[in-house]
Every structure is written in C-alpha cells, then in structure tokens.
Structure 1
Amino acid sequence: MAAVRRLRPDVVLMDIRMPAMDGLEAARRILAQTPDCRVIMLTTFDLDRYVYAALAAGASGFLLKDVTPAHLAAAVRLVDTGDALLAPSITRRLVERFAPSIPRTGSDLATPAVHRDLAALTPREREVLTLMGRGLSNSELARELTLSEATVKTHVARIFAKLTLRDRAQAVVLAYETGLVSPGEAANTSDP
C-alpha cells in the first residue's frame, strides 16, 4: 500500500494470499485510493470464490501463477490500456456459471433482459457492449463495425460512464448478466 502511494504505478500485480492483509483487501484499498490504477490478481489457487471476490474488489485481471512470462507481460500491457483479462480456465467457468441463469425459450435464447441502466445506451453503444462481451478488443471492434479505433474508444468510454463500469471485466459480466451475450458467443482469440 505504501509503495503504491509512493510510486503511483499504472498496474499492480497482487497475490491473493499475503501476510498481514490478503490481496483482495489490499486491492480494494489501492483502488479506493488510486482509482486510475489497475490490479491484476495472481494466485496458485484456481478457486471460484477468489475470482468473484477479485472482480468484486475491482481487479482488472486474474491470472494463475503458471502463466508464462510472455503472457504475463502481455497481460500487464493489456490491462494498462483499460482492457480486462481472465485466465482462460476462469473465463470458461464464468461462462458456465452464468449459462444456467440465462432464460431459454425452447432451444432458443429468450430476448435479452433489459438492465435498468442499459436503457441509457444508444443502439450503437449496446452493439459495442455486446461485442465487448464476446471478447473483442478495440481494434477488433473497429474492424467489425467499420469504425475508427478512436470512435470505438469513445463508445467504450461512454458505456463505462453511463453504466458506471470500471473496466472491460465489469462490462463483460454485465453483458452476460443482462443476456446481451450468451455462452458460446465468445470470440475465438489466441491473445492472453
């Protein structure tokens, strides 16, 4: 905590289990004092309760300690740009957890639920949120929607502001919770 106050880093790598204060509480405090900072949680424990607690604490990433050095460096760069990152095994479990709660009609998904805040979005912003929920990066969004990256970044910033979201991790969770995205619609990317 003292090092973050002194150095004001853009990204903090935080272990879940630490002496004196666990990483989740440290992340909460860091993000409360330094809202522009991003936190990536690192752990050897692939447990759902840690993942959900880390996301609730405001973490922008959650990786297992067996991540390769190259993927870790890429994760830091990705989170620094405002994107969120979860280890692939964790993403799969999140989708599996939300899948049963999405209402179905016959074999088709029901109409997406309307979150009270989603009404504030323009149709284009809903489209951007849906594609973010599927895992598309800003450059992929720009290609998909035939927009400039600057325009995509503007849409993303407006979505975050209107829905009071901190980052893409929260946007993805919201997209699944509201039914904008359903399991099986995630983008197929090899990026970390």
Structure 2
Amino acid sequence: MQKLQIESYVRMREGARVLEKDSCGEKVLLLNDGTILKLFRLKHFFSSAVLYPYAKRFADNIKNLQRLDVACPSLINTYKIPSIKRDAVHYHPLPGVTLRQLRRQADESPANLFDQLGRFLAHLHEKGIFFRSIHLGNIVLTPEGRLGLIDIADLKCQTKPLGPYKSQRNFKHMLRDEDDRTWIESRVHGDFFSAYYQERARQRT
C-alpha cells in the first residue's frame, strides 16, 4: 500500500462528489476523472484489519475475481492516508446498473434476468466465492449483459465449492430485503431458484 500525503490526497479529491458518508466522515468519493476512492477507517485497535487492511482485502478480491472471470471493478492503487487515519482503495467502477436499480424500473429488465441471476450465483458458489453481504444493490448488469460484483471488501474465496450452510446463508442475505425478495419470487423475469439448482448440478456433472 502506498503512503499518500495530505497534499496529494487533497489534490486527488478536489471537486469530488461524495457518494457515501456516515457520522465519522466520507466513505466513497467519485473523483473528477470518473474513478472511485473508497475510504476505510479502523473501527477497533484489536481488529484483523490492523494486519490485513480492508483496502488490501478489496484489492485482493478484485484480483481473485478477475482470475475467476467474474466481472468487478478494476484496481488502480491502494493507499494509507495517515493524516486522516484512513486506508483507501482507488479503482475504476464496474460499468452498468445494479439489480436493485433495475427492480425499481422493472420494465427495463431483461426477460431472463432471474434465470441469469440464478446461474450467476451458482457459478460463484461453485468457484468457492462467499460474498457475505451479497444483495441486489451490489450485483451489476453490465452494458455487455454480464452480471458482476461491486463493494467486495468482505468477499472471500475458498479453494472448493461452498457447502450447503454457506450457500443458504448467501440465499438468506440476498433475499433479506422484502422488496427484493418479492420481486425475485414473482418470477416475472424467470425462475431464480430453478436456474440456481440446475446450474450447480450441471457444473458438478
């Protein structure tokens, strides 16, 4: 991780649009060149993030997803910014629209979107990708018609397919939002559940 001095940080964020913030300050910045700077603070001194910073995890997850041919943001650099007590990851965003955005304009969704989503989740699980906080707001449909992932700091890759326990945890998290669940269960754009199980079975034959 590169150390970023306050002068360089101020120049980098000049004119940036704040996309996300909380009571502790800015979290996600859209920079003038269209790239994203995501800031992480250390919440607890006795934390695994001391040894393995979230910005580094985010960067490593980009590399792992690219290796597994899963669409995701494109890494530029990672930084330590001591003056504001933050780490940061700088990246090109994944072009496209989130599925939650599509849900809110459902007439523009592809007819087979839920079938595609089921196969996509099955692919992730068979590749050993456990995205603990997966939901329709961090799954993107790209202009090329692929599904991909964003906001991937808490994603983990293991060497074998996910077992039933982690798979079910992912299902529950993705369907936790009532509006998301109602939309998927409507089957208006295909059968998510059937596509998921068929794809997992196909990949195991």
Q: Which has the larger radius of gyration?
A: 2
TM-score for the superposition, normalised by structure 1: 0.30
> Is the helix fraction higher in 1 or 2?
1
TM-score for the superposition, normalised by structure 2: 0.29
> Is the strand fraction higher in 1 or 2?
2
